[in-house]
A and B are shown apart, each in its own frame.
Chain A
Amino acid sequence: DIQMTQSPSSLSASVGDRVTITCRASQSIISYLNWYQQKPGKAPKLLIYAASSLESGVPSRFNGGGSGTDFTLNISSLQPEDFATYYCQQSYSSPPTFGGGTKVEIK
């Protein structure tokens, strides 16, 4: 299985801050990388697929990048509704595997 490593595991930030979360794959996954947002008690929500494509309805302050083994999720200006846990997932090979998550908390 392909291992996905996210960093940091948690961060504290203020409204308006720019936030960057990184995700590293144990082997090249080209651009088969997806990002999800999960709020407490809720199902994950797809934000970005294929490393940089924004899912319909997701605000443009979310931006994804990278290829190969290293990927980033950027939130350009953190909003109150963005405080959540974010997961990356590789969809290059089965089984699809998830990173351990990054919890974004209010500073």
Chain B
Amino acid sequence: QLQLQESGPGLVKPSETLSLTCTVSGGAISSNNNYWGWIRQPPGKGLEWIGSIHYSGDTYYNPSLKSRVTISIDTSKTQFSLKLSSVTAADTAVYYCARAPPVGATDSWGQGTLVTVSS
């Protein structure tokens, strides 16, 4: 059974870079049909797709965040990562990693990790 687990700091200072890693187990990170992505949810609010990556390295980003986002993948470690630069309080959210195609349903999710942006 596919499992995803987020890891990374829970507190980031304003203007710094948020960095999270997702470890995938129970499934092939390099499967041609799998896209791996990040989705976030500010406290008490709705869901926002951040971006996705294919094991080949092809990336797809939400245009609203594209200038600040980098998603990368390390198939040898079965991990993919999110970097979000120049964060502000508006980036405070629960961040989920998921099997998330840029066009398609998101059928497997990590448990989520709360990242707070505060000095």
A residues adjacent to B (C-beta < 8 A): 1, 32, 34, 36, 42-46, 49-50, 55, 87, 89, 91-101
Q: How many residues belonging to B are interface residues under a CB distance threshold of 8 Å?
A: 23
Q: How far is the CB of A50 from chain B (nearest CB, A)?
A: 8
Chain A to chain B contacts (Cβ below 8 Å), 29 pairs: A1-B63, A32-B103, A44-B47, A44-B96, A45-B109, A46-B105, A46-B106, A46-B107, A50-B105, A87-B46, A87-B47, A89-B47, A91-B104, A92-B103, A94-B60, A95-B49, A95-B61, A95-B62, A95-B63, A95-B102, A96-B49, A96-B100, A96-B102, A97-B49, A98-B46, A98-B47, A98-B49, A100-B46, A101-B46
* Residue of B whose beta carbon sits closest to that of A55: B107
Assembled-state Cα–Cα distance A43/B40 (Å): 10
